[in-house]
A and B are shown apart, each in its own frame.
Chain A
Amino acid sequence: EAGVTQSPTHLIKTRGQQATLRCSPISGHTSVYWYQQALGLGLQFLLWYDEGEERNRGNFPPRFSGRQFPNYSSELNVNALELEDSALYLCASSRGQGMETQYFGPGTRLLVL
C-alpha cells in the first residue's frame, strides 16, 4: 500500500510570492492534515480537511489556506510568503475523522529567501 506522498520535496521562493504544496493521502483515507515544522521546533497544526471540507484550522493567518479535492488529495497554499514561513510542511492522512492514527508524508521543505 502506497504511503502519503507530497510534492514537491523542496521549494524555493522569494518573499511575497505564493507557494502551492500538494499531498496525496493513503488510499481509503478521507482526512488530510497539514502541519508546519520550523527548524528546531515542534509540529504546529495548520489545517484539517475531511470529505472535501475544512474542519479545523490552527493559529495561522488567513494567507495559509488550502482545499481538498474529490479524490481526497489536498493542496496547501501560502500567499504573500514571509521569511518566517521557511519550514518543513508535513501532510498526514487518516481514516475518517478524529482520533484515528495519522500517517505522515515525507514533507515539503519550503525556503523563502
Chain B
Amino acid sequence: RKEVEQDPGPFNVPEGATVAFNCTYSNSASQSFFWYRQDCRKEPKLLMSVYSSGNEDGRFTAQLNRASQYISLLIRDSKLSDSATYLCVVARNTGGFKTIFGAGTRLFVKA
C-alpha cells in the first residue's frame, strides 16, 4: 500500500462544475500537508498548504481530518485553466524528514 493515495483519475468536468479530490495517508506521524498542481510537462507548483482548521483560497478549499488521515481539495466554479494534475503531498519527520507525493489526480475541465 502506498503511503499517500489519491483518487484515481482522470476527472472530466464541465466549466463551472465543483470537483473534489480526496487523499489518504497511512503514517499517523505526518505533520505537514500540501496540494500542488502540475501542468503537463511542467514542474509542480504549490497550490496551497493544508491546515488543521481547513483553509480557503478563492475557489479552492482544503480540508484535513487527522483522525481519518484524510485530506481533500475542493475546486468551485471550475475553469478551463484548472486542467492539470493535482498532487497531494505529506511531510513527516520520523526516521528522518520525508516528503511523500501522491501519484496525482488528473483533471480535465471542458467548455
B43 adjacent to chain A (CB < 8 Å)? yes
Q: Of A35, A42, A97, A101, which contacts B104 at CB under 8 A?
A: A42
- Least CB distance from B36 to A in Å reads 8
Which residues of B from 83 to 111 have beta carbons under 8 Å from A? 87, 91, 93, 96-104
Q: B43–A106 contact, CB under 8 A?
A: yes
Pick from A33, A43, A106: contact of B42, CB under 8 Å = A106
Q: Which residue of B lies closest to A99 (CB)?
A: B32
* B27, CB-defined interface residue at 8 Å: no
A-B pairs under 8 A by CB, number: 45
Question: Main SS of the interface on chain A?
Answer: loop
Query: Does A42 lie within 8 Å of B87, measured CB to CB?
Result: yes
Cβ–Cβ contact B97 & A98, under 8 A: yes
Q: How far is the CA of A95 from the CA of B35 in the complex (A)?
A: 18
Known: A41-B103, A99-B32, A104-B44. A56 touches B98 (CB 8 A): yes
Determine whether A64 belongs to the interface, using a CB cutoff of 8 Å to chain B. no
Closest to B2 in A: A42
When A45-B99, A45-B100, A56-B96 are in contact, do A101 and B34 touch as well, CB less than 8 Å? yes
Size of interface on B: residues with Cβ below 8 Å to A? 21
Do B96 and A55 have beta carbons less than 8 Å apart? yes
List 24 A–B pairs whose Cβ atoms lie within 8 Å, in order of A's numbering: A33-B99, A41-B103, A42-B104, A43-B87, A45-B98, A45-B99, A45-B101, A48-B97, A55-B96, A56-B97, A56-B98, A97-B97, A98-B91, A98-B97, A99-B32, A99-B93, A99-B97, A101-B34, A101-B46, A101-B49, A102-B99, A104-B43, A104-B45, A106-B42
Residues on B lying within 8 angstroms of A by beta carbon are 31-32, 34, 42-46, 49, 87, 91, 93, 96-104
